[in-house]
Amino acid sequence: MRIAVFGTGEVGSAVATRLKELGHDVVLGSRHPGQPQDGIAVVSHADTAAHGDWLVNAMHGEDAMESFGKLDLKGKLLVDIGNWRNAIDSPIEETLGESLQRALPGTSVIKAMNFVSAQLMGHPEKLDGKHTSFVAGNDAADREQVTALLHDFGWQDIVDLGDLTACRAMESLAPMWIRLNAKFGHVWFNFALLRKPG
């Protein structure tokens, strides 16, 4: 599949590398395109949008909202793994996932993996135990497709939370992640959802 990842930082690079490992045709999108990164082309945002049938937002929400409004993303599926930069120390008044969907009515936005470290996103097996990933989006079939991709990444416990109003819960986990990271001094942790079978 042709998948384009917006954002060349730690998160975007980790996801793009994993997608490439799985055999997908991947590019990285940057406001400053240049030399390939780990063998993956780094191209302009416009070329990134044109390349991908699926897109991944690995940018801060403020940057995504500014950039995506200038691009033609109609008919594409956008996996949003970002968070607002200011959500770390301010209340979330409007979620990024819902904001992106309103700004991009012709694009299917699916929220996923916004509260797990870059080191675990594509390789959850690096943390012992079965830990949990959530997905949300307004299109049930697209949620199923993204769930299948997360299974390819190695995730075993994926909980479909329904439509994008679930972002209000999912994005609130990002400040908790920051707090736990400060507490533990490392990135090797995640949440595990324990529930009664059935």
At 122-154, the pLDDT tens digits run: 999 999 999 999 999 999 999 999 999 999 999
pLDDT for 197 beyond 90 = no
| Buried-state track 13-46, b at ≥16 Cβ within 10 A, e below 16 | bbbbbbbbeeebebbbbbeebeeeeeebbbbebe
Q: Confirm if 73 and 107 have CB atoms less than 8 A apart.
A: yes
Is 2-184 CATH 3.40.50.720?
yes
**For the whole model, what pTM was predicted?**
0.96
Average pLDDT, the chain: 96
Q: Give the position of tokens 């324990």.
A: 194
Span 12-32, average pLDDT: 97
Span 184-196, average pLDDT: 96
